[in-house]
């Protein structure tokens, strides 16, 4: 039990220490800017819900990102190509509607992704389109939201999720979130996110973030890979396949850093950098070349690119 507890704590310690130092710095300066952690590859995972000063005024943003790869919840869904991610969000009276999509300019299979459509390998492909409906409400320093997400994938099963989030408008902006898949891949995805922005110069901010997540599969689609051997007539006989217990593990962590740079009224550009890593041996495990997790194993991965945003 001590080893089980100690290893995750050691894994999270560097990022937690960094965020604690950020918190001390902010408290010392008595400056609490709203978090502007850039939406990197998980813009499809945790949508924003904006609440205007006038609750019945329509607000929103249009963003366009160019990144070196698409990572969703630690899973590598593109490789060796540029991905383009346009998104549009509209908000009114706490309600938000968001459209997001991923375009891979050179489709290739990865350990978590298989191009099962003929004549698409290496081609420019719109491989995912997501839609989010959410409602957000704040009470003092507490921010609450919940909603529905639809994930439409060209190369895989479409699915739907419902989610709830709860955060605090204090230094490091701790935010807890829980997603429940109710369609293609029944299971739970939950985690803790931290984020903080710091003024740099003339309206430019540095935006830091971290998150730590767990995944719990509840359907047969989450059966893990195993090898079972028995003696038959005095000879060993082994079978292998995704017949093991359902995947359940501390899953992925990530650290992010970006800069929000105003370039014109309502327009900003954001250079963004993000580092993903597995939080447990189960998340990165492979057996005889096969991922323990049927959705693919996780590895250490860097994401970088540029986001352009128009806010209104």
Task: Identify whether 68 is part of a domain.
Answer: yes
- Residue 118, pLDDT score: 60
- How confident is the model over 3-17, as pLDDT tens digits? 444 444 445 544 444
Task: Identify whether 267 is part of a domain.
Answer: yes
- How confident is the model over 180-217, as pLDDT tens digits? 999 999 999 999 999 999 999 999 999 999 999 999 99
Cβ-contact 69, 79 below 8 angstroms: yes
Tell me the helix, strand and coil percentages in the chain, rounded to 5.
10, 55, 35
Residues 132, 127: Cα–Cα separation, whole Å? 17
Is the predicted pLDDT of residue 243 greater than 70, yes or no? yes
**Of residues 146, 131, 161, the one with CA closest to residue 94:** 146
**Of residues 155, 41, 43, the one with CA closest to residue 109:** 155
- How confident is the model over 28-75, as pLDDT tens digits? 333 333 344 333 344 444 444 444 457 789 999 999 999 999 999 999
Say how many domains are in the chain.
1
CB proximity list for 63: less than 8 A, separation 6 or greater? 39, 43, 85, 86, 87, 88, 307, 308, 309, 310
Neighbour count for residue 116 (Cβ, 10 Å): 10
**Of residues 174, 146, 141, the one with CA closest to residue 162:** 146
Task: Identify whether 9 is part of a domain.
Answer: yes
Cβ-contact 222, 241 below 8 angstroms: no
Mean pLDDT of the residues in the chain: 86
Cβ-contact 66, 83 below 8 angstroms: yes
Instruction: Provide the residue range defining the domain that includes 255.
Output: 2-220+246-311
Strand, coil or helix: 162: strand
Task: Identify whether 239 is part of a domain.
Answer: no
- How confident is the model over 96-129, as pLDDT tens digits? 999 999 999 998 889 888 776 666 677 788 999 9
**Of residues 117, 260, 288, the one with CA closest to residue 198:** 260
Task: Identify whether 90 is part of a domain.
Answer: yes
Is the predicted pLDDT of residue 272 greater than 60, yes or no? yes
CATH code, domain carrying 106: 2.40.160.40
Task: Identify whether 59 is part of a domain.
Answer: yes
Per this entry, what is the length of the chain?
312
Per-residue buried b or exposed e for 80-115, using 16+ beta carbons within 10 Å of the residue's own CB: ebebbbebebbbbebbbbbebbbbbeebeebbbbeb
Residues 238, 261: Cα–Cα separation, whole Å? 58
Task: Identify whether 233 is part of a domain.
Answer: no
């Amino acid at each position: 039990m001590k080893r089980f507890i100690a290893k995750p704590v050691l894994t999270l310690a560097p990022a937690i220490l960094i965020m604690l130092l950020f918190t001390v710095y902010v408290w010392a300066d008595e400056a609490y800017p709203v978090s502007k952690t850039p939406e990197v590859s998980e813009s499809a995972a945790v949508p924003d819900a904006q609440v205007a000063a006038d609750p019945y005024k329509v607000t929103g943003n249009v963003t366009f990102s160019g990144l070196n790869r698409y990572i969703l919840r630690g899973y590598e869904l593109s490789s060796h190509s540029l991905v383009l991610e346009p998104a549009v969000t509209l908000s009114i009276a706490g309600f938000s509607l968001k459209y997001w999509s991923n375009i891979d300019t050179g489709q290739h299979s990865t350990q978590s992704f298989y191009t099962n459509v003929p004549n698409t390998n290496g081609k420019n492909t719109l491989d995912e389109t997501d839609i989010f409906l959410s409602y957000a409400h704040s009470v003092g320093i507490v921010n609450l939201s919940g909603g529905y997400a639809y994930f439409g994938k060209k190369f895989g099963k479409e699915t739907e999720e419902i989610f709830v989030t709860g955060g605090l408008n204090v230094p490091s902006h701790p935010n807890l979130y829980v997603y429940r898949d109710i369609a293609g891949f029944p299971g739970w995805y939950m985690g803790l996110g931290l984020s903080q922005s710091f003024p740099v110069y003339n309206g430019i901010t540095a935006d830091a973030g971290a998150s730590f997540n767990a995944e719990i599969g509840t359907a047969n689609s989450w059966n893990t890979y195993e090898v079972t051997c028995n003696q038959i007539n005095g000879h060993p006989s082994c079978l292998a396949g995704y017949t093991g217990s359902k995947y359940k593990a501390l899953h992925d962590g990530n650290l992010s850093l970006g800069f929000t740079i105003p370039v014109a009224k309502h327009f900003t550009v954001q250079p963004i950098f993000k580092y993903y890593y597995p939080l447990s041996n189960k998340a990165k495990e492979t057996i005889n070349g096969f991922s323990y997790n049927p959705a693919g194993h996780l590895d250490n991965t860097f994401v970088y690119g540029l986001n352009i945003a128009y806010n209104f």
